[in-house]
Structure 1
């Protein structure tokens, strides 16, 4: 049995973005040797995939002024700047307090973003717009935040997310806010509500990160601000704080030395001789949250460095792009017809190959655009994620993914 020190070292290793990248690229090397059990790789299709992504970028962003792949894009669904409208009413408030509010809105919204399912939608009360998937989840969470759903004092201080407000949130209240019901089913509703309650408990457990009286998510802004140096705030510091502070919230996952690992899964061929053998970390939601928080700090005048230390995101749009364009193919095609649990080795393999192949795609996209320094966070937003949605809509009614992954409301 591993010592507690060994377990702590393994957990730290699995939280490093370098480990995500290394283990995913190691599985890609096995794919190149045709040694993976579930997927075959056709590397000659990468150039066509890069062309498709570049075409998507030039169509959506002809000036190449691409924002980060962040939650803030969804808050502007339909061309309506909802955060800008809310912020206009906050003039005169302390800038640091506005930044704390943005951190809180961003965290709860990202953590509630796991796949909604094709049958769910949200009708925005202010406009009557009907929105599904990520956009619908974003606007539903935005409206819920504005209404004080996550605040312990929703009447006097609605625009906050604190331990008191999160601890009392149940599935019924969240379902009402998200308009979920028998005719509008939201996948993973119970899991989402439990995640919010777990988040409240995590805030209470870490006053060093979130403050006290009551602890609030926005305390993370102040903690990270103290880590900014002359070169700004490292992106990896944002991810480390997210994984450290929110690590305990993930339910029903692998545990090492009493510490929950979060978005870490088993693959029989992963790191067979290394520490934490057989484990592949992804931290998809945490990395997307880190990308989203970058914008908060930069808008507050704090530059963020080392953005490409973080990885591409292993979710069904990026991964679906690779399947739909033939870069990857299933060895057992009937798997595409069955709902797969997120821990199924085929899903783990698909996600790992997605992370590694996004690095390969990004190099080709940068070369085609003549922008060698374009951050991966912009390539994800302008290109791969949007291209994955585009090709899915071209190939399947409703634009669903090529593989069906069972969501518990906490992964995708």
Structure 2
């Protein structure tokens, strides 16, 4: 792997380049955006109040896919584990990795119209929660397994999955449209192909499966959180469609902005790795359950997605230079969107210490700030300000980004 590409496949690059664009915005040099740092304290008040409301004891779990599997007070993963009766902690961890990887990759925005009616509970779910429960139901039914019944994901099965099969599992159709369905199915097929092509990573202790990366990460003692992300970026990078590459290395969720100036081929490149970092956060708990010690969680950054980004826009911490831009749709690579996502990462770092101060806590990782407050306040403000509860900026999605 080229050293230049390697640097962009790190959380440090995400933080560094996002902070660079934030500094430009503070100086009035980020086209399309204005920053109002004086609004940050009031924003921190909102986030701290949300955390105290949701978690009165301040025992906040990590921001991870596992939270969505318990929507409506039903612990679906615990129920699945009890039925599966995995033969060892490692076997359970591989299955948990399978589920988390699949479910996170399927977690791009569903759109305002889509709904999922859960069999058994009668719950009708939307957005991230609906996508989570739908993916878990398919996983539990063996939809991703080669034998068609086991709760696992086999690379060979994923490589053959179709849009029609995914539509059935997600109850999607003309009357229940799910944004980016074809993109989601294609992403799973590429995941299967990548896992099949790298048995040294994905088949170290079992047949090729996404969860096989557990054995790679668990090979040592302590597991640094940044190592989880870097492994995901290196080994899953080829699954992302039509994205930037450097010297033949796929860069994944990395986009161009003219505000990033360098004297090498990385000029203009801004990495975010949103889904990969969301996935890295989501793999912490399965690693811990298998007896691994995960360290350095704050090396990962906040997530450059529309709930956190919407929080800062709706709370007045940032503002569009042209308010009419909120009425138009924008491509993910539009500098306006890239700038918004960079501001989101930097502002999450800026608001986190203010939130800790209000809570009277020093040991409160960013992963807990995200889960306890920023994501939820972003969603609440969106519901208050827009009838469909959607983001304040409209992004054209192919089902693989947000």
TM range (shorter): over 0.9
1:285 aligns with 2:279: no
Map 1:248-263 to 2 at 5 A.
248-263=238-253
- Equivalent of 2:224, from 231, 234, 249? 234
2:263 and 2:359 map into 1 onto residues whose CA distance is: 40
* SS state at 1:397 partner: coil
2:349 and 2:263 map into 1 onto residues whose CA distance is: 25
How many residue pairs match? The answer is 401
- The answer to whether the 8 Å contact 2:304/2:342 transfers is yes
* SS state at 1:410 partner: coil
- The answer to whether the 8 Å contact 2:86/2:92 transfers is no
Q: Which residue is 1:346 aligned to? A: 336
Normalised to the residue count of structure 2, the TM-score between the two structures is 0.98
1:397 aligns with 2:392: no
- RMSD (Å), alpha carbons: 1.2
Map 1:110-121 to 2 at 5 A.
110-121=104-115
Q: Which residue is 1:54 aligned to? A: 48
- The answer to whether the 8 Å contact 2:156/2:196 transfers is no
Q: Which residue is 2:297 aligned to? A: 307
- Equivalent of 2:214, from 221, 236, 255? 221
- The answer to whether the 8 Å contact 2:156/2:193 transfers is no
Q: Which residue is 1:199 aligned to? A: 191
1:90 and 1:125 map into 2 onto residues whose CA distance is: 19
1:63 and 1:362 map into 2 onto residues whose CA distance is: 18
Normalised to the residue count of structure 1, the TM-score between the two structures is 0.95
Q: Which residue is 2:101 aligned to? A: 107
Residue 255 and residue 275 in structure 1: after superposition, are their counterparts in 2 closer, same or farther (change >3 A)? closer
* SS state at 2:20 partner: helix
1:368 aligns with 2:358: yes
Q: Displacement of 1:281 after TM fit?
A: 0.2
2:177 and 2:362 map into 1 onto residues whose CA distance is: 44
Q: Displacement of 1:91 after TM fit?
A: 3.5
Q: Displacement of 1:92 after TM fit?
A: 5.9
Per-residue CA deviation, residues 328-383 of structure 1 (Å, 9 max, x unaligned), is: 00001111111111111100000000000100000100111111120000100001
Q: Displacement of 1:88 after TM fit?
A: 1.4
- The answer to whether the 8 Å contact 1:164/1:214 transfers is no
* SS state at 1:169 partner: coil
1:36 aligns with 2:30: yes
2:263 and 2:378 map into 1 onto residues whose CA distance is: 35
- The answer to whether the 8 Å contact 2:25/2:34 transfers is yes
1:138 aligns with 2:132: yes
1:257 and 1:92 map into 2 onto residues whose CA distance is: 42
2:265 and 2:343 map into 1 onto residues whose CA distance is: 21
Per-residue CA deviation, residues 120-151 of structure 1 (Å, 9 max, x unaligned), is: 01000121211000000000000010111111
Residue 267 and residue 403 in structure 1: after superposition, are their counterparts in 2 closer, same or farther (change >3 A)? same
Between 1:69-78 and 1:212-221, the stretch displaced more is: 212-221
In structure 2, list runs of 5 or more residues that go unmatched. none
1:71 aligns with 2:56: no
1:311 and 1:274 map into 2 onto residues whose CA distance is: 24
Q: Which residue is 2:90 aligned to? A: 96
* SS state at 1:296 partner: helix
- The answer to whether the 8 Å contact 1:162/1:214 transfers is yes
1:18 aligns with 2:12: yes
Residue 92 and residue 42 in structure 1: after superposition, are their counterparts in 2 closer, same or farther (change >3 A)? closer
- The answer to whether the 8 Å contact 1:23/1:271 transfers is no
1:90 and 1:145 map into 2 onto residues whose CA distance is: 12
